[in-house]
């Protein structure tokens, strides 16, 4: 499939998901030849999972199917510009490219917090609306030292 068709599939999923009671988001992951590896829809309310955005679901489905946590060589087509959680997931998955349709301002206009979270992430922890507190760094660093010293670790 060409990129226009792949995006149209993601959009179709987003429209169907609204009709079925879910959030207005859909995503498709495809390889370089345009073969679809996985799809995802927003299932936050139906699965009681605030992380079940279309992109995260599509990534989890693709990595599960392919048996790897690394999606280098694949692209994601999402009906809306990813929120910071999903964009972070796209980086961790090492996807080659992202295509999106609606943008974060469109999402804000229908009541989604994407823009707010983007703004929060730019701030220092102490400046955010989310309260935070640092505790026990001197004890926690041991796990990082252990990781650094471990010779047979699987990097990711």
Answer whether 8's CB lies under 8 Å from 15's CB. no
Name every residue whose Cβ is closer than 8 Å to that of residue 110 and which is 6 or more positions away in sequence. Answer: 24
Which residues are known catalytic residues?
A: 55
> Tokens in use for 24?
């207005």
Question: Per CB under 8 A, does 72 bind its own copies?
Answer: no
In angstroms, give the least distance from the CB of 31 to its own copies: 16
- Pick from 32, 92, 126, 151: which binds its own copies (CB under 8 A)? 92
- Pick from 32, 35, 73, 103: which binds its own copies (CB under 8 A)? 103
Answer whether 89's CB lies under 8 Å from 56's CB. yes
In angstroms, give the least distance from the CB of 1 to its own copies: 13
> Tokens in use for 107?
């999402």
In angstroms, give the least distance from the CB of 22 to its own copies: 9
Backbone angles phi, psi at 132, to 5 degrees: -145, 160
**Which residue in this structure is represented by tokens 């829809």?**
41
Residues 41-60 contacting its own copies, CB under 8 A:
44-45, 48-51, 56, 59-60
Question: Per CB under 8 A, does 40 bind its own copies?
Answer: no
**CA gap 107, 113 in Å, rounded:** 8
Question: Per CB under 8 A, does 1 bind its own copies?
Answer: no
**CA gap 20, 14 in Å, rounded:** 10
Residues 15-34 contacting its own copies, CB under 8 A:
15, 17-19, 21, 23-26
Residues 113-132 contacting its own copies, CB under 8 A:
113, 116-118, 120-122, 125, 130-132
Question: Per CB under 8 A, does 111 bind its own copies?
Answer: yes
């Amino acid at each position: 499939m060409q990129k226009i068709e792949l995006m149209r599939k993601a959009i179709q999923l987003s429209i169907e998901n609204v009709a079925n009671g879910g959030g207005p988001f859909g995503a498709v992951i495809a390889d370089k030849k345009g073969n679809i590896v996985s799809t995802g829809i927003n299932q936050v309310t139906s699965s009681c999972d605030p992380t079940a955005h279309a992109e995260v679901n599509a990534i989890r489905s693709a990595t599960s199917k392919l048996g790897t946590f690394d999606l280098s060589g694949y692209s994601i087509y999402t009906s809306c510009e990813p929120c910071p959680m999903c964009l972070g997931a796209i980086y961790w998955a090492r996807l080659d490219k992202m295509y999106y349709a609606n943008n974060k301002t469109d999402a804000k206009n229908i009541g989604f917090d994407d823009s707010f979270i983007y703004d929060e992430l730019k701030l220092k922890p102490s400046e955010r609306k989310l309260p935070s507190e640092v505790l026990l760094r001197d004890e926690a660093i041991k796990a990082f030292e252990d990781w650094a010293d471990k010779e047979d670790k699987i990097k990711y």
